[in-house]
Copies of this chain bind each other. A is one copy, B any other.
């Protein structure tokens, strides 16, 4: 249909199309939703009229009747401190693309930062969305608990970390559909790569102990060192996720001249290490090896290019949408949790060059 047509008059409805095609409303509806029920020639004719009039079903009416909006809610938080905002951007875009293919759209909403539950309830009660995607499962999961309680469909990006307070028994109760990236494996990849480059004493620069994600990644670093027969003791340090704090921590670690490389829990941290190197006249790649995490924009635009663990966000989004489809069609979900493997983007901060 040419865009011009829309100017001609008011929007066509099912009845309009039915009248034009000489059939009933239901037949037109079937032509759209159950085409196999129509005789081929009828289908052809109805489709021609639909096309000619530029008819598109009214979402509100369909939603009212079927009780399904084909919208997926995502609470879009203010970008976290650090470099993770670009991560969110990449993820959201992948999610939009993946859900578009199944005829769903993403509805963004916000809420009181102090109340992690704010916004969910209202969208549910007004039947505005069919399901939710939850992204920040690191700090406990009140949203997931709430949605499970009220029986709303959702999938999380991030596994449900068991609460150590409750022990393993309670942990087994925490089950819902999730997709996550194996951060432990990512840190192991990065560390192994540094060892391959000839480094021996590879330091860890991580977040505070309270971060589950941080502890998981740290375990990967430790494992790589142990596999290589390097004693990790004295090589781990921790601080807050912030360039300047990381810079200071790196200076401290570098007082030990045997340390020649860093595996960092995030790109922000790694950038702090690079700052410290610049201040000490050390050239990354040549004098020292550094790796980050998340492959943010900063990682590939910073000098001399930061090696970083990249999360397969496009794949994460596709898996999430796939699971959502299963949940929404009330099919039992094949696998409750899906763990995806990250890859290492090698740049010059970790590889001998010149």
Contacts and interface: CB of A to CB of B under 8 A. Distances in A.
A349 B86 CA distance: 23
Interface string A98-133: 001000011111100000000001101111100000
Interface string A140-177: 00000010011100000000000000000000000000
B302 A302 contact: yes
A90 B76 CA distance: 11
A6 B63 CA distance: 21
A126 B58 contact: yes
A121 B3 contact: yes
A286 to B, nearest CB: 12
A226 to B, nearest CB: 32
With most chain B CB atoms within 10 A of its CB, the pick from A59, A127, A151 is: A59
A58 to B, nearest CB: 6
A105 B126 CA distance: 13
A85 interface: yes
Contacts of A268: 301
A274 interface: yes
A88 to B, nearest CB: 6
A352 interface: no
Contacts of A278: 303-304
Interface in A6-43: 6-7, 11
A201 B157 CA distance: 51
A7 B150 contact: yes
A90 B79 contact: yes
Contact of A127 (B60, B271, B303): B60
A83 interface: yes
A71 B93 CA distance: 19
Contacts of A271: 301-303
Contacts of A11: 125, 127
A267 B302 CA distance: 11
A64 to B, nearest CB: 4
Contacts of A90: 79, 85
A243 interface: yes
A218 interface: no
Nearest to A124: B6
Contacts of A100: 109-110
A257 B283 CA distance: 25
A3 B83 contact: no
Given A3-B150, A108-B106, A108-B108, A127 B58 contact: yes
A96 interface: yes
Nearest to A119: B100
A256 B60 CA distance: 65
A341 interface: no
Given A76-B93, A302-B303, 8 more contacts: A6-B125, A56-B126, A60-B127, A64-B64, A78-B93, A96-B108, A106-B108, A297-B298
5 contacts: A6-B125, A58-B126, A76-B92, A78-B93, A106-B109
Counting from the closest, the 7 A-B pairs by CB-CB distance are A56-B125, A60-B63, A60-B64, A89-B89, A106-B108, A298-B298, A59-B126
